[in-house]
Amino acid sequence: MLTSLINAGRELLIQPQCPICQSTISSHTETSKPCKNCRLQLDLPSSGLIGLNPLNWRALGWYDGNLRRLLLNLRRSKKHSTMHALAELLNPLVPINAVLVPIPSWKNLSRANPLPQLLATYLKLPCHSLLIRRHATVGQHHLDRQLRLKNQLDAFKAVPGQINEKIDWSRHRAWIVDDILTTGATAQAAQTTLQTSGIPVGGLVCLARTPLRQLPGTGRPHTVI
């Protein structure tokens, strides 16, 4: 009863807004997630996307259209309210035994892609930086799958430290966190590094999956596989 009265009072004083488009919504209880119109505009499936190729993966939607534009803008703006809202939608897709491992950037902090770490921060699960970059890699936008795999070869080094002593890996799995899944070359390189260090990997969680029709060197229509 008291909680209801407090929420009602808040709604009289402050109009609840969608964290993405800032449009007025009906209740404060919905302000942690995108509004229905934003979900429609971003073309976000109600149950997200799940696939097994090139590794087990989970994503909010396809890296296309308005979702692509939003994520490109987020790389620059680092808008925490938007990232929190997207993570709220993605959280149910991640297993409860997951230990999140964000993909690190080889660039310095001012130029690094902030989205993997931000996403891992806002998902409601343990997060540990178990990977570092061994060396810089070239931009992959125009590389086909084979060149991407070569580009990411031996790109990571595992730095588990004392984490292996604190986590029972027989009951938990590392889940790699990245912003976009394209060919999977980066995720597979990270997976290999972790598994070589004795850390079991459950899969990859990301904000979006590049449609297969847009993958370098393919002409296939996009499907969840």
Q: Do 24 and 124 have their domain in common?
A: no
- Cα distances (Å, whole numbers) of residue 1 to 6, 15, 16, 30: 9, 21, 20, 19
- Residue 51 sits at φ, ψ, to 5 deg, of -150, 170
Domain count, the chain: 2
Q: How much is the pLDDT for 80?
A: 93
Q: Do 121 and 14 have their domain in common?
A: no
- Cα distances (Å, whole numbers) of residue 61 to 27, 34, 48, 94, 172: 25, 14, 6, 15, 26
d(CA 5, CA 225): 47
Q: Do 59 and 3 have their domain in common?
A: no
pTM of the model: 0.81
Count of alpha carbons within 13 Å of 8, Cβ hemisphere only? 5
Q: Do 74 and 175 have their domain in common?
A: yes
Structure tokens that stand for 27 in this block: 């209740």
Q: How much is the pLDDT for 153?
A: 63
Domain assignment of residue 48, given as a range: 42-214
Q: Do 204 and 181 have their domain in common?
A: yes
Q: How much is the pLDDT for 147?
A: 59
Query: Mean pLDDT in runs of 10 for the chain (225 residues)?
Result: 51 73 72 89 95 96 97 93 95 96 83 92 94 71 60 76 78 96 92 93 97 61 39
Q: How much is the pLDDT for 112?
A: 84
Q: Which CATH number goes with the domain that contains 108?
A: 3.40.50
Q: Do 73 and 180 have their domain in common?
A: yes
Q: How much is the pLDDT for 22?
A: 86
Structure tokens that stand for 83 in this block: 């990232």
Q: How much is the pLDDT for 110?
A: 72
d(CA 152, CA 159): 18
